[in-house]
Every structure is written in structure tokens, then in C-alpha cells.
Structure 1
Amino acid sequence: ELEAARVVTTAIVNGEPQTAVELVEGVNRHRFGEGLEPVEQLWLAGQINTHLAELKGVQDVDYGSLPPPEPPKIINDDSSSSSSSLTSSTTGEQYDSDAWR
């Protein structure tokens, strides 16, 4: 059963957030609409949530009951340095991306 739609940040590339519409279905998440503008994503999520609320016979979707979104991936494309460092969006720890190669 679909619970709700929301706009989530999937990645931060060179400081710019990349967003998508995410449908929450229990523990499953379905993402789409990455190529849409944020205002279009918000509109689409709102339309889906309005329809879901009507089907469930409630006023609004209970966003507090949704699982938290996954943290976005941080991607820095800085070609001026030979090794790049990534920072975890959840812990703030720095990781050397060369160590993962």
C-alpha cells in the first residue's frame, strides 16, 4: 500500500542538491522524476498525496509516520586535486575516495 509521495534529495553534486519524487510503500521506496524542476516535483508529490488521502478517507497524509529518507550522496567533482575527500552527510566524517578504488 502506498503511504505517501515526497521530494527527497538524492545527491549533492558540487554543492548542488539533486532531487527526486519518492513514493513510500512500506519499507520500499520508488524514485522518479529526477529530470523535473523542484517546483514540478513538489506539485506532483502534492497531487499524489491528495489522491492517496482521498482514497484513504483522510484529510492529509501523516508525514510523521513515514520512515526518514536516506541521506543524500555527496559528490565533489574537483579535478584540481589528485585525491578527493567525501564527507558523510550523517556522521560528518571525512572519507578518502581513493581508498575505495
Structure 2
Amino acid sequence: MTGDDPAPLIRTAAVPVGGGVVLRGPGVVLTQPTPGTFVAFSATCTHEGCTVHSVAGGTINCFCHGSRFRIDDGAVVGGPAPEPLPRVPITVTGEVIRVG
């Protein structure tokens, strides 16, 4: 590991299969739609900029106005959000997930 490596966000075991976690500090939502597949999105709702609140029932959920996004591609599945959540590039090395 070099000094340029980004800090770890989370360990893979902390991201449930079929669900995910919202990391408010870095503003990222990490999901695991299928075993071993990790995806990251911006935690900022595309409707009015609220931070999404939870990941449940196969969707990323914003409680401000009820927008919901799919955990596999960030697409809007309900609510007033006009656009999908933007993807955030991540790297999975062993059991560690990093941005980039």
C-alpha cells in the first residue's frame, strides 16, 4: 500500500447481500445486489439534494420526499427524483472497499 491509496470505506462483510449501507460522512451508498457484487452511488438524492436515509427492500430510500432508487444501478423506481443516483467508482481489494 502506498501513501496515495485512499482510506478504506468499509469492509465487504458490513454490506448485506440484497441491501446496502449509507455512509453519511463520505456521502456514499454501498450496495451488494448479488453476492460478491459491490456498487457505490452518491448518497445525495437527485430530487432536492437530501441525503438518502436507508437501504431496504431492494431500494435506496430518501425520506425527504419519498424517492426510491434500485440498488443495482441507482435507477429511479419511485418518487419525484428526476434522475438516477450517480455511480461512485470503487475498488474492492480482498475484504476492503475503497473509493476509486
Same topology, TM > 0.5 = no
Structure number having the greater helix percentage: 1
Larger radius of gyration between Structure 1 and Structure 2:
1
